[in-house]
Homo-oligomer: A and B are copies of this chain.
């Protein structure tokens, strides 16, 4: 009968992973809508194509080699179904033995397939961050080529050092140095932003974005309801992103932890939205919707590194600070002519770093885990150096070999025609 309790625990934890995974998968739609809403009509079909394709590529590449690199288990996930057991019966026995050993309050025991499913959608998130930053000027196929490398190699390597606790090239182990990143402010968001930054630097700004006189020209997004929808989708999906990262639901402690994560994630996002709205109002005298959306996302990214230990008040404060940071960061990047149409580098990179650095405040280093400022710095540096460096190399090779930027005419005409031969809104705009 105790066995049946373990079986229920196994089933509940597996279900929890699957539902959280489905919510994170949903974030792919969120990024697509956000980016489709913030680019010009003439570049919309192409950004949509990129988003659908990058999600698909991430899923396949991680399945083929990525998961194996990050956690082992063989390419093509061979044997994920039976996990070495001879048959389903034997598997149940093995699982029950594992559960008994772990103990009811111990580490979660759940389906490997559900673990993969929950992990794979994180890879896609990291890649989604890139597409927004390089939008409206990068060639479709060069972008997809990069996606193959990032999702199949760059991210999995970095993931193995962090969430899988392997030593960085056998040199040092981040966990031992007091690095902790609960759901991936650094491992996913800063990583994605680092890859994006490398691409943007090699790509250059959109034509007409920066005037000769150094003034910044506005390039308004074509469809703000879409962008708002995308933000709400991301907000919802984030409950799975952070909530699932507790990695266990089915005991009182874990359930409480998951609930706190939902609460804090929502509070940080709300605070980020409000502070960005108010701060932008003070700066610009107007209620800037796009900044408000970025503010909500900034709150989410900031809390992601540690959503379980802050009090609701702390989560609110962290989110509010993130909302201010993201506005300043977006303005700063424009000052230095780094053109990021959707603000991805600010939201996921700058705020991702902020998120890592505030972990020690609520989860200081102790015997049983936690984070230290130095540890967070080293971790952030490791992630940035690795992802930025390798990405820069890959972008560079792509630039030399097949080129990464569309021609000036293509950019003027819009990449929808040149890359996809199809308009996103054929009846609403004048060809």
Contacts and interface: CB of A to CB of B under 8 A. Distances in A.
A287 B420 CA distance: 5
Report the copy number of this chain in the oligomer.
3
A111 B421 contact: no
Contacts of A290: 422
Contact of A76 (B7, B9, B266, B313): B313
A95 to B, nearest CB: 5
Instruction: Decide if the interface of chain A is mainly helix, strand, loop or mixed.
Output: helix
A427 B430 CA distance: 9
Contacts of A288: 420-422
A424 B224 contact: yes
Contacts of A204: none
A40 interface: yes
Nearest to A113: B259
Interface of A: 1-2, 4-5, 7-12, 14-19, 21-23, 25-26, 28-29, 32-33, 36-37, 40-41, 44-46, 48-49, 51-53, 55-57, 59-60, 63, 76-78, 80-81, 88, 91-92, 95-96, 104, 110-114, 116-117, 120, 140-141, 220-226, 228-229, 231-233, 235-236, 239, 243, 249-256, 258-260, 262-263, 266-267, 269-271, 273-274, 277, 284-290, 292-293, 296, 311-313, 316, 419-429
Given A4-B5, A44-B225, A286-B420, 9 more contacts: A4-B9, A7-B104, A7-B251, A11-B250, A12-B15, A53-B287, A56-B296, A77-B263, A428-B428
